[in-house]
A and B are shown apart, each in its own frame.
Chain A
Amino acid sequence: MPTTDPLLDLPAHVRPDPDAFLQAAMEWHFNPETGSPFWLRRMKSLDFDPRKDVETHDDLRLFPNVVNELRDVPVTDLVPRGYGAEPEIVGVFESGGTTGVPKRVVCLGDWLQRFVDWCNAKLDAHGFPRDVQWLGVTPGGPHIVGKLFERSAYTHGTFGMFVDLDPRWVKKLLAAGKTDEARAYGDHVLDQVTDVLRSQDIRVMAITPALLDRVVERDELVKLINEKVSAIRWGGTHMDAASRQLYRTEVFPDTILYGHYGSTMVLGVAGERLGPAGDADCVFDPFSPYNTFSVVDPATGHNVRYGDRGQVVMHHVTKSLLLPNNVERDTAVRAEPLQGTVGDAVADIAPVEVFEDGVVIEGVY
């Protein structure tokens, strides 16, 4: 087995020098002995040499956006050869299919471990209780959020219970104008949530903002959550500042509210920055240098200024996967990153109206 640069195997709490890490990752992904069949093949049509020319985070923009090629690449071609004959594949995950045929990525065990460790540290920082029962109101698959929920519940918590969601179905209903059916599906989900909360000792919940909006229509459910749940992790769709403020001050005043923003395609999420109490801004920091963001002007591809809105571009650079320049369907306000990290933090995320000639449907899931 070829040797691996130790920079690629650091535990979550040890942050590598971003440039040194990036160069080690380029060496890994574009060395014929360690790189994935996909990238080794794709390298031939690049007009630069990643092992020479990619030295800093800004150089990631040299890469084309290959994400559309992930709609039909055999997933085994995405696994770096350096993992040997028996890589620990912990999941094959798919994008939402909002903008066409789903795209697929492979998640390997070392990354999931590091990522969940980082997530758990963020949960601690936000005051989530340890060793309690979780309830996940999220898709079980094929998106990464189900796996993340499960790992979080069983490592930060004691275990988790699941109410499954099928966001693709909801999007389909909404696209067809079947709002009543989408609503009935939401009711079906919330009925199950109510059942679990009535009888079980749930202390942490993971749920989407759209469903949280629907929770508020049910007095019993609001009461159950306020009685039992001490922390809510939300993600999957956007939560506007006014709603977030109302949740924190009026609906769930004694419950910790902590947001995630991410994408299956980059095998990760950014976590809400811990701000002063009552702070209206919700800033998300990704797990740099592995998951990073750029907020750009879609016309030029250049960063917008801090405080300005632009399109979100996500990058994933780890030993397990290289996926730079994934243009997301969201816009966000570019925020200053935390010290010692690369790329941008993002705030005030909103969906772009039209993306790649398809109409984006945010959905109620």
Chain B
Amino acid sequence: MTDVIRLPALGPTGEYVSGTEATVHDVAGDLIGALALVPSVFVTRALSSLRKAQPLSAEERLSAIARAGDLFSTATVSGLSPDAYVHAVCRVSGLPVSVIHSAAQATGHRAHNVSRAVEAARPQDSVRDWRDPLTRTGRAVWVPKGEVFAVHASGLHPGGHSLWLEALALGYRVAVRPNPREPFTAHRLVAALRMAGFGTDHVVWLPTEHEAGAALLRGADLAYGGDDVIRKFSPSPKILAQEPGRSKILVTADQDWREHLDTIVDSASHHGGAGCVNATAVFVEGDAGPLASAVAERLGALPSAKPEEAAAVLPVQAVTSARALEKFLRMKAGDAKPWLGAEQVVDELGDGSAVLRPAVHEVDRPDAPQLDVELPFPCVWFAPWSRRDGMPALRETLTLTAFTEDDGLFAELVAEPTIANLHRGDWPTYWTDTGLPHEDYLATFLMRCKTVIRS
């Protein structure tokens, strides 16, 4: 058993220990960490410090973020080596160690490319700096909408945290309220940013209970995330709330699904199948049964393992929450045809934790309510689809991968406002790259253009 990792808050004047702690347990229920909780008054004062702080120059910010990315993936930060960090996140999130490891590498990579990522979002006719000679004849200058950005982290996958680096790059001061189940990634990233040159009053890490979390939301200009506080206060124009992904796959009749089986299986199960970019529903023009059967056979063969084992590919949770998910799935599945049913979803490891094994169900119509049920493990619903059913079944989608020869249909999908990202052919739902939007560009939310002309 390793030592308990005690994380002080990272406040505007340095580390802060309040005396009140929240504990962090791993998937087997063992105590693994403790966070110093900060009260509302601390949050309010921290945000006030952030607001008063002078940001680094754009160049300094970008180079510091890049250095922080290197530190994050390779250095000992706050006493945690990269391996110790990966192990801790793996044990609390239950996500396979390979997933956590590659997420740590990806965070380093994204930190180096944050400039490209935000530049991709800049309206093409605007300039970044009022000193640009183009403003002498009148130009749009791309400027932040506010000064202080609050992140209410909710996901267990560490990858989500590289997104708010963009706010820091754009000149915001950032306050992060960690997910109490997996606080390590946000802490490590904030600590690395401080090591790399950001002032303690530029980026803070503030674990809070609900009330102080609300103070964090109130005191910031803009906020982003998906935790309990965000859910309570959204919708609000200053809040960008993370929603379920409900990513989908569409296979039209002109396709042989056998050629795309790898992509479909991978879309459901990549990164443990726990992400918003993992496929939740697969629509097949014609009979969905054979594809569901083939996917079930492949997913059913995935091994069960503890998350820290090299063989791990499926997520692990505490038995109690795994059983709750099983019960929820059984209730939701109803009369759907189980290819891999709820009864085989929980595979107990004997230490208080359980592997969440894939679930594959088939429903008989494209508007079945099950198709919206997104769960944090490979859980995929197959449905028949026809041109007559059209767009309604395909709406409200983070990423849709379409296998079709039909340009007209694809054009319709591109035009559909509630589909955020569209892949055609063998591009799995989780695919992304630097400079591409996730749910639109974050910078669209953070920035605006203003006319500047000067003589």
**Residues of A at under 8 Å CB distance from B?**
177, 179, 183, 212-213, 216-217, 219, 240-243, 245-247, 250-251, 280
Contact = CB atoms under 8 A, between A and B. Distances in A.
B215 interface: yes
B20 A246 contact: no
Interface stretch (B27-35, B39-47, B90-98, B121-129): B39-47
Contacts, number: 46
Contact of B42 (A212, A217, A241, A242): A242
A251 B41 contact: yes
B19 A213 contact: no
B19 A241 contact: yes
B238 to A, nearest CB: 12
B214 A242 contact: no
Contact of B20 (A179, A216, A219, A242): A242
> Which 7 A-B residue pairs are closest in the complex by CB-CB distance?
A242-B18, A243-B39, A213-B40, A216-B44, A242-B39, A243-B41, A216-B41
5 contacts: A179-B233, A183-B218, A219-B48, A243-B42, A280-B19
A250 B45 contact: yes
Contacts of B218: 183, 217
B39 A246 contact: yes
B219 interface: yes
B45 A216 contact: yes
A212 B45 CA distance: 13
B48 A240 contact: no
Contacts of A242: 18-20, 37-39, 42
A177 B42 CA distance: 25
**Of A177, A241, A242, A243, most B-chain CB atoms within 10 Å:** A242
Given A242-B20, A243-B39, A251-B41, 13 more contacts: A179-B214, A212-B41, A213-B215, A216-B45, A217-B48, A219-B48, A240-B20, A240-B39, A241-B19, A241-B20, A243-B42, A251-B45, A280-B19
Interface in B181-218: 214-215, 218
Nearest to B39: A243
B232 interface: yes
Interface in B1-33: 18-20
B228 to A, nearest CB: 13
A242 B21 CA distance: 11
A251 B232 CA distance: 29
Contacts of A217: 44, 48, 218-219
Given A183-B218, A219-B48, A241-B20, A213 B232 contact: no
A265 B232 CA distance: 34
Contacts of A251: 41, 45
B48 to A, nearest CB: 7
Contacts of A212: 41
Contacts of B37: 242
